[in-house]
Amino acid sequence: MKYLTLWRAGARRHKSSLAGVFLLLLLISLALGTVLTLWNNSGSYIRSEMRRAGFGDLTAWVHDVPEQTGLEDAVAGLNAVERVESQRVIYADYTIKEQESDSQGQLIPLAIEEDRYRFFSNDLSGYQEKKPEIAPGEMYVSPSMVSMFGLQIGDEINFAIARSGGNFSFQVKGFYEDPFMGSSMIGMKGFLVCEADWKEIQQTIQERGKNALAREGAMLHIFSDDRESVSDLNRMMNENTALSKYTEFIHSEDAIAGFMLILQNAFSGLLIAFVFVLLFVAMVALGHSLSSGIEADTVNMGILKTVGFTTGKLRQIQLMQYLTAIVSGMMAGFVLSVPASRIASDKMITTTGIRVPAKLPFEWILLSDLAVLLLLILFIYCKTGRTSRITPMMAIRGEGLVQLPFVEKTAVCGIKKNALYFRLAIRQLATAKRQYISACIVAVLLVFFASLVGRMDSWLGRDGKGMMDAFNPADHDIGVQVFGELTADEAEELVSSYTGITDSYLLAMPNVSVNGTSYAANVISEPKRFHMMQGKTCQSEDEVVVTEFVAKDMDVKVGDRLMVQGDKGCEEYMVSGIYQCANDMGTNIGMSREGYLKIGQDNPHLWCYHYFLANPSVKAEITEALETAYGGDVHVHENSWPGLYGIISAMQVLVVFMYGMVFVFTLIVTVMTGSKILAAETKDLGIYKAIGITSTKLRFTFALRFFLTAVAGSVIGILLAAVCTDSLVSAVMKLAGISNFASNPGLGEILFPAGVVILLFMGFSYLAAGRIKRVAVTVLMGE
């Protein structure tokens, strides 16, 4: 009972601090619960849906296979293959709202008997109860096309099936969940059409022959006996069957899941890092609250010791007070993370293409919450150790725990008429610096993280150039690939009529097998344009460059040799360097044109002409003009892809979320710290008022102290970000196949996070200092 009485009394006395701790832990638990839910559920959901929908350990996209059944049988006949299932597809370029697709779309017939896909309700808030029927002229698409193209139900999508009037138009009937290609991070997209439409398109392709633009093909879902040896299986298939001859691309389940989850994983990683920063911030605030609480309660604790309370008991009481706030905050955050996960999942559908279940992963959350709780208990226990220094004599003498710190002979920053209030602020800071250290550490952490995200945002750029440069093997303004009768010269002439071409080169992306494993090859006419990281580019025809990921997979380094097989032959090449290209999660190699032609067939349609324009702002007009003039005979792409907008908007959401958290945390920490400092300074405030200094001036002086503290913290935060960002973000970016992240922010971008944090600290401390108005000079009245 006596403990309960003391617990109540302490809770009343420190209610504002405990409320602050409650809020901090609520936000941490909420953010942690939401991130863990989305991270855990998206991973498991994608894999379970892929399995349910019948996708294999490996999926090969093949085209123009003369004997598909024979190929399937040959693959299925391999010892390591359990079975092969196939889905018919037609590859075709498509246009939405006058935007041409970057990758070919895959028209997939929806078989009545199959239960492969799930269909969203029109508002994307759930699923349709009954599998819908698709009428001729209608199609279902992934909801990620909303973010990629601004697509809505009822919009039209045009597919270029054949030249001279061979276009097919479909109206979007609704959205389906595609666990395989649904994410906006994946360029290739599946379109569900009815069997009748698919057959009509197939017939058109067959009838038009050479004039057909679309190609018939299939997705082969290959199930291995041993799921651990997917790369061996890939090699075995390439060596023993004709699969590689017809393969457009081949990806493992892991690679597809990686593509689908690339955005969630990268942002979840960042958010979890941010949660750790917030936890550290909360511990700093908690530490300050505990220390100043003990200092304020020294006399009370001394009295309790005189009546028989031990240090251990007093520490237990303090622990219980703070644990009440911590546990209730964590529980409230835990409960709120259910709707928060639901909301976040709903908001992400148009980017991820899937509806991530909002069911909390109890074991993960419980484990993480327990870890946080244990950490905080340990922290509180350590911080309350000072209680042992309190003696009954302190209570008898009415002494505080902290002795006056003015042992130095000379005073810091003399008090003069000029800049009086600034000098008073400096003096307060210098003499009670321990009180402001927590605020300074918080400023360091918040500025560091805000700078880190700011640097990522600046690297990404408004148009996503940073990301595109990482994904593209070489820079360009516009790429033009010609088909049919159209020649590159004709296309180039049209481009030149808009703006001068300052430079150009050729790039092709055929598939090759490297030491038996399929990879995409970036074949370039000017190898010096590759983004090199190590060694030298592949100038000679017997040299290749590989990404860091391929080098790791193949266990090769600069100077080692690799066997590369194309559709004409196989040759040995030396690895001349490591280059950067995040395409296919970084699993690609680079070759010179001469080097590739030793093993691959030349074909004018293989090459894409990459141009640098004198005036890049006319790219959109050039694209429109080329498409209008040559229709399906030309494919134009810019240094961008529609999925990039999803990333940019997700980045913007992250930045907004982060600044929101910075706002709330700065508010809570400033109010918590500020109220403790003000409580300790009540007497001084009374004295200043008695000599005629107004509350407004005292508030300004108080805010000035936090301003100076935040400035000091911000400088450290900026420096930390400058030193650590690139290596830290590179570690996260490797998940996305980007291995060389280098941010070069402008001065404004460097200073912005610091400016925000400084202003917030100053503004909130000025608000927190509102209670100075209520400090009456009567606090100085004698007993």
Partner 1 sequence: MNAREVLLQGKNICKSYQQGKKSNSVLHDVNIEIYEDDFTVIMGSSGAGKSTLLYCLSGMDSISDGEVLYRGEEISRYREKQMAALRTKEFGFVFQQTHLVSNLTLYENVAVAAYAGVGRTAKKVQDKAEELLTRMCVGDAAMRFPSQVSGGEAQRAAIARAVINHPSLVFADEPTGALNKSNSEEVLGLLSSLHREGQGIVMVTHDVRAALYGTRILYMEDGRILDELAIGEYEEKDGKAASYQKAREKKITEWLSALHW
Closer residue to partner 1 (CB): 169 or 694: 694
- Distances in Å between the Cα of 467 and the Cα atoms of 50, 180, 269, 641, 739 are 28, 22, 18, 10, 12
Q: Is 99 in the site for partner 1 (CB under 8 A)?
A: no
Task: Return d(Cα 33, Cα 605) in angstroms, integer.
Answer: 51
Closer residue to partner 1 (CB): 402 or 606: 402
Supply the DSSP symbol for 115.
-
Q: Is 415 in the site for partner 1 (CB under 8 A)?
A: yes
Q: Among the candidate windows 111-119, 367-375, 410-418, 753-761, which touches partner 1 by CB under 8 A?
A: 410-418
Q: Is 682 in the site for partner 1 (CB under 8 A)?
A: no
Crossing angle of helices 747-768 and 695-733, rounded to 10°: 140
Beta bridge partner(s), residue 579: 532
Q: Is 420 in the site for partner 1 (CB under 8 A)?
A: yes
Q: Is 391 in the site for partner 1 (CB under 8 A)?
A: no
Crossing angle of helices 253-296 and 298-306, rounded to 10°: 70
Q: Among the candidate windows 272-280, 426-434, 635-643, 714-722, which touches partner 1 by CB under 8 A?
A: 426-434
Q: Among the candidate windows 87-95, 271-279, 522-530, 689-697, which touches partner 1 by CB under 8 A?
A: 689-697
Q: Could you tell me which of 118, 32, 653, 46 has the C-alpha nearest to residue 360?
A: 32
- At 556, list the tokens: 């090769």
Closer residue to partner 1 (CB): 377 or 432: 432
User: CB 783 → partner 1: shortest distance, Å?
Assistant: 8
User: CB 698 → partner 1: shortest distance, Å?
Assistant: 10
Q: Which residues are within 8 A (CB) of 418 and not within 5 positions of it... i.e. 6 or more apart?
A: none
Structural contact between residues 703 and 765, judged by C-beta atoms closer than 8 angstroms: yes
User: CB 417 → partner 1: shortest distance, Å?
Assistant: 4
Task: Return d(Cα 185, Cα 182) in angstroms, integer.
Answer: 8
SS3 of residue 191 by DSSP? strand
Q: Among the candidate windows 146-154, 309-317, 420-428, 752-760, which touches partner 1 by CB under 8 A?
A: 420-428
Give 505-541 as a 3 state SS string. Answer: EEEECCEEEECCEEEEEEEECCHHHCCEEEECCCCCC
Among 48, 388, 502, 694, binds partner 1 (CB under 8 A): 694
Among 534, 695, 755, 771, binds partner 1 (CB under 8 A): 695
Among 208, 684, 755, 771, binds partner 1 (CB under 8 A): 684
User: CB 457 → partner 1: shortest distance, Å?
Assistant: 43
User: CB 549 → partner 1: shortest distance, Å?
Assistant: 59
Structural contact between residues 94 and 159, judged by C-beta atoms closer than 8 angstroms: yes
Task: Return d(Cα 271, Cα 34) in angstroms, integer.
Answer: 10
Per-residue binding letters, 428-457, with partner 1 (x by CB under 8 A)? x--xx-------------------------
Structural contact between residues 588 and 581, judged by C-beta atoms closer than 8 angstroms: yes
Q: Could you tell me which of 106, 214, 216 has the C-alpha nearest to residue 167?
A: 214
Among 13, 427, 465, 531, binds partner 1 (CB under 8 A): 427
Q: Among the candidate windows 375-383, 643-651, 717-725, 772-780, which touches partner 1 by CB under 8 A?
A: 772-780
Residues touching partner 1: how many (CB under 8 A)? 35
Supply the DSSP symbol for 272.
H
User: CB 687 → partner 1: shortest distance, Å?
Assistant: 5
Q: Is 154 in the site for partner 1 (CB under 8 A)?
A: no
- At 489, list the tokens: 């010269």
Closer residue to partner 1 (CB): 429 or 545: 429
Among 693, 712, 715, 719, binds partner 1 (CB under 8 A): 693
Among 11, 80, 687, 711, binds partner 1 (CB under 8 A): 687
- The CA-based diameter of the chain, rounded to the nearest angstrom, is 106
Closer residue to partner 1 (CB): 362 or 406: 406
Phi (first) and psi of residue 127, to 5 degrees: -110, 155
Quote the radius of gyration of the chain (alpha carbons, Å).
Answer: 33
List the interface residues with partner 1, window 300-339 (CB under 8 A): none
Among 424, 581, 647, 667, binds partner 1 (CB under 8 A): 424
- At 430, list the tokens: 């210098």
Q: Is 679 in the site for partner 1 (CB under 8 A)?
A: no
Q: Is 705 in the site for partner 1 (CB under 8 A)?
A: no
Task: Return d(Cα 401, Cα 383) in angstroms, integer.
Answer: 14
Q: Among the candidate windows 188-196, 375-383, 412-420, 726-734, which touches partner 1 by CB under 8 A?
A: 412-420
How buried is residue 209: exposed, middle or buried, by Cβ count under 10 Å (0-12/13-18/19+)? exposed
Which parts of this chain interact with partner 1 (CB under 8 A)? 404, 406, 410-411, 414-418, 420, 424, 427-428, 431-432, 683-684, 686-695, 773, 776-778, 780-783
